[in-house]
């Protein structure tokens, strides 16, 4: 299996394959969705702390 560095001329990067794009999107969703849910829950509970 070759890497982008081995198959690309110096100073350029190989374009991502569709599978790499899907993996990157899934990785970001894996982080962003739970973070967003936790932030939402926090914002919902803040008024109860002061009310």
Q: From its phi and psi, is residue 15 left (phi > 0), alpha (psi between -120 and 50) or beta?
A: beta
How many CB atoms are located within 10 Å of the residue 14 CB? 14
Residues 39 and 32 sit within 8 Å (Cβ to Cβ): no
For the chain, domain boundaries = 27-51
What pLDDT shows up at residue 4? 54
What pLDDT shows up at residue 20? 96
pLDDT in tens, the chain (51 residues): 555 556 666 778 899 999 999 999 999 999 999 999 999 999 999 998 887
Residues 42 and 35 sit within 8 Å (Cβ to Cβ): no
What pLDDT shows up at residue 11? 77
Q: How far apart are CA 24 and CA 17, in angstroms?
A: 11
CA distance between the termini of the chain: 60
């Amino acid at each position: 299996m070759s890497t982008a560095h081995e198959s690309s001329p110096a100073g350029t990067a190989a374009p991502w394959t569709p599978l790499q794009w899907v993996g990157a999107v899934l990785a970001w969703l894996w982080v962003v969705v739970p973070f967003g849910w936790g932030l939402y829950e926090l914002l919902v509970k803040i008024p109860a702390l002061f009310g």
